[in-house]
Amino acid sequence: MDQCPACGAETTRKDGVCAECGMRLEGPTASFEAIVEPSEPLEIIEVDIAEVPALVLRKGIEAGERFYLDQPRMTIGRDPSSSIFLNDVTVSRYHAVLYVESDGVRIEDAGSLNGTYVNDVVVAEAELSSGDSVQIGRFQMVFVSGVVA
């Protein structure tokens, strides 16, 4: 038996929605072949430098959305309780973790099926610099360093 990530009710792998709360259940993470091509031209998104670092979605369902990194530890995944919730089957429930420290931001893959890419290279862990490209599943984001205190 599985559990609904929203309410904890028992579900089966065949269920499309939770009978208790109605949340759509995605099932297991789907594997896909990551398309990583060198310097693929993407639309330029203007980004204001913020007081805190941010990830700006430049390819995905909500292009232009900003995720402000305002906590010391933030999770990225398909689980609704993730700090950065990316709702797509190419994203693992617990995909990656961001560590926001006084000297910068570090990303660690959390054992995801499809990997975490920084600047088109799959990484287990990486320090992020302003302008770096981060790919989680089908979502492509650009890191903006902001002013880390």
Task: Please give the DSSP secondary-structure letter assigned to residue 35.
Answer: -
Q: How many CB atoms lie within 10 A of CB 115?
A: 19
Mean pLDDT of 57-62: 75
The residue whose two tokens read 């109605």 is 22
Residue 27 near residue 2, CB atoms below 8 Å: no
Task: Please give the DSSP secondary-structure letter assigned to residue 17.
Answer: B
User: Is the pLDDT reported for residue 133 higher than 80?
Assistant: yes
The more confident residue out of 33 and 117 is: 117
Residue 119 near residue 38, CB atoms below 8 Å: no
Expressed in angstroms, the distance from the first to the final Cα of the chain is 45
User: Is the pLDDT reported for residue 65 higher than 60?
Assistant: yes
Nearest to 89 by CA among 20, 142, 25: 25
Model pTM?
A: 0.67
What is the spatial distance between Cα 27 and Cα 2, in angstroms, rounded to a whole number?
A: 10
In the chain, count of helices (H) and strands (E)? Answer: 0, 13
pLDDT, tens digit (0-9, with 9 covering 90-100), for 88-120: 999 999 999 999 998 899 999 999 999 999 999
Task: Please give the mean pLDDT across all residues of the chain.
Answer: 81
